[in-house]
Amino acid sequence: MTYNPTLMLSSPHSDTQSPQPAKPRVVIVGPGAMGCLHAGLLGRMPHLQVGLLDHRPDRAKLISNQGVIIEAPEGSYTVPTQCSANPDDFGTADLVIIFTKAYDTAAAAEHAEPLVSEDTAILTLQNGLGNYEVLQKYFPDEQVLAGTTASGATLLGDGRVRQAGLGKIVLGSPAGNHELAQRVAELLQSAGLAVQVTEDVDGLLWRKVLINCAINPLTALTRRCNGELLEIPVLRELLDEVAEEVYEVGQVAGVEWGNFAPGQEVKQVCQATATNQSSMLQDVLAGRRTEIDYITGAVVAAAQQHGVAAPLCQCLTALVKGLALRHG
């Protein structure tokens, strides 16, 4: 796909001598599975300048030297990638995508501050509830976008990921800056990604968190792939019950679910991602802290705020928090 200069998020630099408009600069924060996958998907496009911001200089150097390696179903490829722990190495960006774990959002925002000018869009595609609210503490509300991705990836090593499946990104502006959401969607589409814009960001995030509440803790606790949850009747039943509980809490919290059928949606995702290890299972297997506080934990907090109970989410939160993790 050829570069379309109208995709610039900010007005092209007013250097009238230069016949070439600057390429849009995208910086991805967090070289985990999803960060590396998107650094590769966007970085292979010649019309974009893509950087990867890490907090670890040693790993950043390694990734800069080797590139990002994507093991895709059609074969492996390497994308040369500028990765640095120093945000000043990138200059200001047109788009910053936050892909750190949810518990690192505040640290990521602080680290990314030098990348952000008044023309920069900051997009979170992280799991869980509460991420865009943290970003809004650091950046103007109208520059913050939030969304979800249905893609899956497994981190195989530093800068190396296995692409599980490419799904759609849905994003929007919690502050109602739909024009910015549209421009960012076009930028991502120009890299061949499937992107849709929504005006109901909270509804979008609750739909995703409902799926994560059901699948992630059950896979992490049983150490099973997403698809296996469907094969064991008691777990299949529990998927339905957790989904129903989150649906009810969401309803009390004001989510407009429309014709979203909770149990059915969760089972469809299990089927579509049957061989995936959920991100929470990957965290547990690697001995890393999980995002449980931002998934079932966030639903428990919302339930408490609205004076209702969420016993299954509460139980799953406790069980996952109780797992002995090497780095947790």
Selected range binding ligand KPL among 243-251, 272-280, 300-308, 309-317, rule: CB under 6 A: 272-280
CB 137 within 8 A of CB 143: no
Q: How far is the CB of 252 from ligand KPL (least distance, A)?
A: 24
82 binds ligand KPL (CB under 6 A): no
**Is 208 an annotated catalytic residue?**
yes
Tokens 């070289």 label which residue? 31
Look at residue 124 and give its three-state secondary structure: strand
Q: How far apart are CA 141 and CA 71, in angstroms?
A: 36
Task: State the DSSP string of 151-186.
Answer: -EEEEEETTEEEEEE---EEEE-TTS-HHHHHHHHH
Site string for ligand KPL, 218-257 (x = CB under 6 A): --------x-------------------------------
Nearer to ligand KPL, 173 or 276 (CB): 276
String of b and e for 200-227 (b: at least 16 CB within 10 Å)?
ebbbbbbbbbbbbbbbbbbbbbeebbbe
**Tokens 């692409």 correspond to what residue?**
163
Cβ at position 114, least distance to ligand KPL in Å = 30
**Contact in structure between 200 and 258 (CB atoms under 8 Å):** no
Selected from 49, 173, 279, 290, the binder of ligand KPL by CB under 6 A is 279
Nearest to 128 by CA among 313, 256, 274: 313
Among positions 105, 216, 290, 296, the unique one binding ligand KPL when judged by CB under 6 A: 216
Residue that is written with structure tokens 């993790």 in the block: 325
Shortest reach from residue 273's CB to ligand KPL, in Å: 5
Q: Which stretch binds ligand KPL (CB under 6 A): 3-11, 176-184, 207-215, 234-242?
A: 207-215
Instruction: Pick the closer one to ligand KPL by CB: 60 or 155.
Output: 155
Tell me the closest approach of the beta carbon of residue 226 to ligand KPL, in angstroms: 5
By CB under 6 A, the residues from 150 to 189 that bind ligand KPL are: 152
Q: Is 81 in the site for ligand KPL (CB under 6 A)?
A: no
Nearest approach in angstroms of CB 239 to ligand KPL is: 11
Q: Using the rule CB under 6 A, which residue among 126, 273, 296, 317 binds ligand KPL?
A: 273
Quick check: 296 binds ligand KPL (CB under 6 A)?
no
Other C-beta atoms closer than 10 Å to the C-beta of 171 total: 25
211 sits near ligand KPL (criterion: CB under 6 A): yes
CB atoms within 10 A of CB 309: 13
Query: Of 17-25, 86-94, 99-107, 211-219, which segment contacts ligand KPL by CB under 6 A?
Result: 211-219
Of 218, 195, 200, the C-alpha closest to 292 is: 218
8 C-beta neighbours (distance < 10 Å), count: 19
Does residue 269 interact with ligand KPL by CB under 6 A? yes
| Least Cβ distance, residue 257 to ligand KPL (angstroms) | 18
Which residues 110-149 are close enough to bind ligand KPL by CB under 6 A? 127
Catalytic residue among 101, 168, 208, 321: 208
User: What residues have CB less than 8 Å from 127, skipping those under 6 apart?
Assistant: 102, 208, 209, 212, 216, 279, 291, 294, 295
Report the sign of the C-alpha dihedral through residues 40, 41, 47, 51, in that order: negative
Residue 276 interacting with ligand KPL (CB under 6 A): yes
Residues lying near ligand KPL in the complex (CB under 6 A) are found at: 127, 152, 211-212, 215-216, 226, 269, 273, 276, 278-279
- Catalytic positions, written as ranges: 208
